[in-house]
Chains A and B, each alone.
Chain A
Amino acid sequence: MHELSLISSVVESVTESLEKYPGARVVEVRLKVGALASVIEDSLQFCYGIAIDGTPLAGSRLVVTVLPVTVHCAACEKVGAIESLQNFRCPHCGEPASDVRQGRELEIDSIEIEEAEKGLKSEEQ
């Protein structure tokens, strides 16, 4: 339900990061989304298509990588991916596990851009 506001933040952040690369064209925006972040990829894609219109991101692709939920087990001290979002248990020893180590991410990982050879500004500038 809030995918549009998430995507709007993505467009805003990516647009800001482009200030260092004048004239660059965005090819791809890569997100990392935890399986427990309650966002739906189809919905992100749909909103992306709408939100990038008329922005420097127009024409770019959105790639979403879903990160599995991992928990740290207090009993056996291992970290592992849970088998089901409906059952928070250690995959190694089967004990209930509440300590989530991965799976809530909502992150812009990287962007791929295309720059003209001339007038290239380095990242440091």
Chain B
Amino acid sequence: MPRLSVDARHTVRLTINGRAHQGEAEPRMLLTDFLRHKLGLTGTHVGCEHGVCGACTIQIDGAPARACLTLAVQADGASIRTVEGLAPEPGRLSVLQEAFRRHHALQCGFCTAGILMSLDWYLQHKPDPSEAELREFLSGHICRCTGYVPIIAAALDAAQGLRETKRSET
């Protein structure tokens, strides 16, 4: 049984956006700090650091989760998606990101990465959500700029866009 000692750093290996990464972490290091400070992936934002605000939401092993409520050592061996993995290529936005831009669904952008990672997962699993379902789902995120209305509008628009893309592909 591996015991990771308090006063040493340990190698954490994980897959992020399809690529293998590794870095050194003390047992107490949060995954948010590991992503940002060890791997330089600063797209994931740090807000409240106790799981309430949703800014640090990423996808861990295929489900949306708070990076600030996860230790880096817990994520050893996990597969993670962060906001850096959303755009299909440099200079192009994903359907969801493009809808956010069109609807002014962000102002300061601090909460946006987390909301995008939640919605990216949700719209894959629920392609045709109602406004009420979206509001319930987004209750795990706090935005102080937009009043949420443009975020909901962007999500509904993106859902429609994704459905159309899927139809034209099949």
Q: Do A and B actually bind?
A: no
Residue ranges of A at the interface with B (Cβ–Cβ < 8 Å) = none
Residue ranges of B at the interface with A (Cβ–Cβ < 8 Å) = none
